[in-house]
């Protein structure tokens, strides 16, 4: 809850400075904060990477374009849950993209062995997906 309230303060400060297009990315529990911001909507685009604590009800309330990037091996947000999120979003009018990265575990996009080329490649791909989404919606 505090993360959400703190994020709202940052968004208000940005808007007071004239920023009109804001995106938010949440990694792990930060995805729950992004889910809240995407419900109001306080932002224009959202990205969640290996989300934690995000519920089906959160996803049903999303009102802004959203990408969800998950891991094949994730006991916190398993692929079955991410597939539910995908079905909910596809049934809504919200533009969305859900992707499950094979052979990676929760946290793969920020915690990986830099000597593991496959891990580096997956993290880079997730970052590229995020940047492309923001480029599409944040003009």
Kindly list the structural domains of the chain, giving each domain's residue range(s) and its CATH number in brackets, ordered by start: 2-137 (3.40.50.1820)
Residues sharing a CB contact under 8 Å with residue 31, sequence separation 6 or more, in sequence order: 48, 49, 50, 51, 52, 53, 54
**Residue 17 confidence (pLDDT):** 97
**Residue 101 confidence (pLDDT):** 97
pLDDT at residue 1 is higher than 90: no
Dump pLDDT digits (tens) for 52-89.
999 999 999 999 999 999 999 999 999 999 999 999 99
For the four alpha carbons of 62, 56, 104 and 98, in that order, the dihedral sign comes to negative
Contact 84, 116 (CB under 8 A): no
Burial of 107 (C-beta count, 10 Å sphere; 0-12/13-18/19+): middle
Determine the distance from the C-alpha atom of residue 24 to the mean position of all C-alpha atoms in its chain, rounded to a whole number: 8
**Residue 78 confidence (pLDDT):** 98
Q: What is the spatial distance between Cα 128 and Cα 27, in angstroms, rounded to a whole number? A: 15
* Residue given tokens 């959203």 in the structure block: 66
Per the DSSP assignment, residues forming a β-bridge with 46 are 24, 66
pLDDT category at 12 given cuts 50, 70, 90 is: very high
């Amino acid at each position: 809850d505090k993360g959400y309230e703190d994020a709202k303060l940052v968004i208000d400060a940005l808007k007071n400075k004239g920023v009109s297009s804001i995106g938010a990315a949440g990694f792990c529990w930060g995805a729950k904060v992004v889910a809240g911001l995407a419900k109001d909507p306080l932002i224009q685009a959202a990205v969640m990477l290996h989300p934690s604590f995000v519920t089906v009800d959160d996803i049903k309330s999303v009102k802004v374009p959203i990408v969800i990037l998950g891991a094949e091996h994730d006991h916190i947000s398993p692929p079955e849950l991410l597939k539910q999120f995908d079905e909910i979003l596809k049934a809504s009018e919200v533009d969305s993209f859900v992707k499950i990265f094979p052979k990676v575990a929760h946290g793969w996009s920020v915690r990986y062995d830099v000597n593991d080329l496959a891990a580096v490649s997956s993290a880079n791909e997730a970052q590229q997906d995020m940047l492309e989404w923001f480029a599409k919606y944040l003009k």
